Chains A and B, each alone.
Chain A
Amino acid sequence: MLPLILENLCFSAGEREIIRSISCEITAGTRTIILGPNGAGKSVLMRLCHGLLTPTSGRVTWQEADAARRARAQAMVFQRPIVLRRSVLANVLYALKLAGVAAGERRPRAENVLDAVGMSALADRPARVLSGGEQQRLALARAWALRPEVLFLDEPTANLDPAATRNIEAIIGAIHDSGAKIMMTTHSLGQARRLGDEILFLNAGRLVEQASVDEFFRQPRTPEAAAFLHGELP
C-alpha cells in the first residue's frame, strides 16, 4: 500500500479552493499527524487520501493496483462518528461482515476490540444512545477490528475524558506497533508530541511544512508554523 504519494493535489468546492496543490510522500511505519487551524483542510485531505472525495486535479497514488484491495486495506474514524441503530456489538459485527470476514471469526474479534477499548459492559446497549465519547470509542473499535494497513483518525480523542484519552492513545500505539500506518489529526499539541513521528502542517489548504515531530516542535521552519505553535495563528 505505502508509500502514499500526493502530487499537486487540489480540491475545490465550487469556487472555493479547499486543498491547494499539495505534494508529498507518506511512508510506511510512521505515525503521521496532520496539524493546522480549524478549516485548514485537514479532514478534507484525509477524505481525499481515503478515496471518499475525488480530487479536482492532481493525484493520490497508493502502491496497490487493485481497487478493492486498496479500499479494504484502509479504515477511517470520522470526526463526527456515525454509529448504526443497533447494538454496540452489532455495529462491529456489521463492519466485519462488510469486510468479508468469515462468520465464525467475527464475534471473537468484535468482543476482543470492545474489550480493548473498555466497552465490553456496553456491548448489548443500543449504540445511538451512547454518549459522544462512547460513540467515538466504538468507532475506533470498529475501525480497529478491520485490521487495516492504514488507519485514518480524524480527531479521535476530541470528545474524550482524560482517562479515555490515555486509553485511546495506548490503543493507537498498539495499532501502530502491530504494523499499521497511522494518519491522524489532533488539536492537542501534547498528543501530537506523544503519538507522532512526523507532522504535516496545513494552513489554508496548503501543506506548509512536513517535518519530524522533534524538528517541528523544536525549530519550525516557517513563520506560520511558529505562530501556530504559539497560539497566534488566526
Chain B
Amino acid sequence: MNDISQALSAAAQLIVSADTTLVSIIALSIKVSLVAVLIAAAIGLPAGALLAIARFPGRQALVAVLNALMGLPPVVVGLLIYLLLSRAGPLGEFGLLFTPAAMVVAQAVLVTPIVAALTRQVIEDAWFEYEEQLRSLGAGTMDAALTLLWDTRFALVTVLLAGFGRAAAEVGAVMIVGGNIDGVTRVMTTAIALETSKGDLPLALGLGVVLLGIVIGLNLLAHWVKLGAQRYHG
C-alpha cells in the first residue's frame, strides 16, 4: 500500500514537473499513433464505405474477413512485420526495423481493419436509409460513398478515436518492431512494460496515468463533440 502511494506521488511529481524523459516518450507515442491512424483513415474510410455500398460477388466473404481482421493478435502482426523489415527480409534494404516508421507500419496494419470494418457498419446502416433517394438523384457508387462519409462524419470521428485508442494502447507489435530503444523507439506502453519489470514504478505509473488520461480524455471529447454536433445537425 505504502509502495503504491509513494510511487503515485513520485509519478505525480514527474508529470507535474514535465520530466523530459516522460515528455519525450509521450510525444513519440502520440506522433506514432497519430500517423498510424491517419494512414488507417486514408485506407479504411474509403474502403469501408465502398464495401458498404458496392455490390459485387464475394462481398459478404470480404466483410467476414474484414471483421475477423479486427481481432489480429498484435504480437503476430509484430512478428510478420519484423520478418518483412529485418535485414534479410524482402523490405530489409530500407533499414526501417527498430525505427518509429516500423512502429507506424505495425500500428497502421492493426488499426486499418478496425477503421474499415466499423466504417462499413456505419455507412451500411446509413445506405439502407438513403439508397433510394441518392439513386433517384443520380448518385453513382463513388458519389454515394463520398456523400455518406460526409453525412456520417460524427459517427466516423468516434471510429477514428477508437482506432487511435487501440494504436496507442498496443504493446506487443511495437515492442517487436521498435525494440523499445531508449530515446528512439520507446513509447508509453513499451516503457511501462520495461520500467515495471525493472521495478521503476514511478515512471511506469506516471506513464500509465498519462496513457489512461489520453485515452479517456479523447473519448470524452469525442463524445461531447458528437453530442453537440448531433444536437445541431440532427
A residues at B contact (CB < 8 Å): 47, 50, 52, 71-72, 74-76, 78, 81-82, 84-86, 94-95, 98-99, 126-129
Contacts and interface: CB of A to CB of B under 8 A. Distances in A.
- In this complex, the member of A71, A75, A98 whose beta carbon has the largest number of chain B beta carbons within 10 angstroms is A98
Interface in B120-152: 129-130, 132-133, 135-139, 143, 147, 150-152
Interface of B: 129-130, 132-133, 135-139, 143, 147, 150-153, 232-234
19 contacts: A52-B132, A52-B136, A71-B138, A72-B138, A78-B133, A82-B133, A84-B147, A85-B150, A85-B151, A85-B153, A85-B233, A94-B147, A98-B137, A98-B138, A98-B139, A98-B143, A99-B137, A128-B234, A129-B234
B133 A129 contact: no
Given A84-B151, A85-B152, A94-B137, 11 more contacts: A52-B136, A75-B136, A85-B233, A85-B234, A86-B150, A94-B147, A98-B138, A98-B143, A99-B137, A126-B232, A129-B234
B150 to A, nearest CB: 8
A190 to B, nearest CB: 28
Contacts of A74: 136
Nearest to B140: A98
B233 A78 contact: no
Given A98-B137, A98-B139, A126 B234 contact: yes
A231 to B, nearest CB: 31
A126 B137 contact: no
Nearest to A146: B137
A224 to B, nearest CB: 29
Contacts of B153: 85
A134 B130 CA distance: 18
A108 B138 CA distance: 21
Nearest to B133: A82
B86 to A, nearest CB: 47
